[in-house]
Amino acid sequence: MSLSQRYADLTHRLHQLGAGQVHLLAVSKKKSAADIAELADLGQRAFGENYLQEAVPKIQALADRNLQWHFIGRLQSNKCSDVAEHFDWCQSVDRLRLISALSRGRGPDQPDLQVLLQVNVDGEAGKGGASPADLSALAEAVAQAPGLNLRGLMAIPEPTPDPELRAAAFAALAELYARLGEEHPQMDTLSMGMSDDYASAIEQGSTMIRVGTALFGARS
């Protein structure tokens, strides 16, 4: 199936789900600048990348396309300056020291970097993401940091073939989002749901889905 057909099928499915207000983030890791340009020609504007070294050449090659770039990979302190320089969004903030590093790295002439706090909603060992108990302090730190704008939460729930367990994880994240939104009413983004579970995520209140395989096909 061609990229254009997969894009058409996905947007049709989102329409069927009544998800016209849900933002589609095309996860383009391991895909070429040409692949991204082809999808951009079809109307897709937002792209997510996991690896800084891979992403920056693509961002530079497509600079005239006016695309929106989201960093969605595990964030390290020594990468924060480059992420802040090159990306429009960072979805994987989960520690206080990353917040100050991103703030320092954002240029004074750049618009604010849009920030999502990544939550380890299942308490899964070895996975990135803040614990729910730490979210309030992290959110306040982002809200106070120059050059950063707190937009909401992101999570990658533990993979499971049980749809009820997936739905429960999405519901738990939506509850955290609603609770934190009482302290930070400017928040408007709940990033959850990927190629194999976006329908369930949308049912639980997702406002942004991160889709790679369903758009680009299986990665080699």
Could you give the domains of the chain? 3-216 (3.20.20.10)
Residues 5-40: tens digit of each pLDDT: 999 999 999 999 988 889 999 999 999 999 999 999
Q: What is the pTM (predicted TM-score) of this model?
A: 0.96
Q: Which long-range contacts (CB under 8 A, 24 or more apart) does 40-44 make?
A: 40/65, 40/67, 42/3, 42/4, 42/7, 44/7
Alpha helix positions (H), the chain: 3-16, 33-41, 52-61, 80-86, 96-105, 135-144, 163-183, 198-203, 213-216
Question: How many residues are present in the chain?
Answer: 220
What DSSP character marks residue 134?
Answer: G
Tell me which residue has tokens 């609770």.
179
Contact by Cβ (8 Å): 80, 102: yes
Residues 145-175: tens digit of each pLDDT: 999 999 999 999 888 889 899 999 999 999 9
